[in-house]
């Protein structure tokens, strides 16, 4: 069972470069989200989507864009990377925003911005 698949696992960027973190799930979940995890801090919500064509901002959305053209895919775009975006990024999906159901996480994408 694939669950939530994230690519790439590791990426090094230079300041100002752009890139897209990919996320795909095969559980037919309507809700998908992106989090970043920094040392000593809890996971923080970047953007989320409650269905195809619907996205919204989370707690720390600045510098990131998302789109949701299909139920399965939810890519996260960094338009102009900054060192402050060095972090581990997790994609998660759920049946109901994760409030009552379980959040299923991907394996994470470790991003370093030089």
Residue 99 touches other proteins, criterion: CB under 8 A: yes
- Which is closer to other proteins, CB of 13 or CB of 23? 23
Stretch that binds other proteins, among 16-24, 65-73, 77-85, 96-104 (CB under 8 A): 96-104
For residue 2, CA distances in Å to 8, 14, 95, 96, 101 come to: 15, 31, 16, 20, 19
Q: Of residues 20, 50, 52, 97, which one binds other proteins by CB under 8 A?
A: 97
Stretch that binds other proteins, among 21-29, 40-48, 63-71, 74-82 (CB under 8 A): 40-48
Residue among 96, 110, 111 nearest 48 (CA): 96
Element (H, E) at 25: strand 19-25
- Which is closer to other proteins, CB of 17 or CB of 73? 73
Residue 60 touches other proteins, criterion: CB under 8 A: no
Stretch that binds other proteins, among 15-23, 37-45, 69-77, 78-86 (CB under 8 A): 37-45
Helix, strand, or coil (residue 53):
coil
CB-facing half-sphere around the CA of 10: CA atoms within 13 A: 0
| Largest Cα–Cα separation, the chain | 39
Residue 106 touches other proteins, criterion: CB under 8 A: yes
């Amino acid at each position: 069972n694939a669950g939530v698949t994230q690519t790439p696992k590791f990426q090094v960027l230079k300041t100002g470069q752009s890139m897209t973190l990919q996320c795909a799930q095969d559980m037919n979940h309507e809700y998908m989200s992106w989090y970043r995890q920094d040392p000593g801090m809890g996971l923080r919500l970047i953007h989320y989507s409650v269905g195809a064509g619907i996205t919204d901002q989370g707690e720390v959305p600045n510098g990131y864009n998302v789109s949701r053209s299909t139920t399965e895919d939810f890519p996260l775009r960094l338009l102009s990377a900054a060192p402050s975006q060095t972090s581990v990024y997790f994609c998660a999906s759920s049946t109901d925003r994760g409030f009552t159901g379980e959040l299923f996480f991907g394996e994470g994408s470790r991003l370093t911005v030089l």
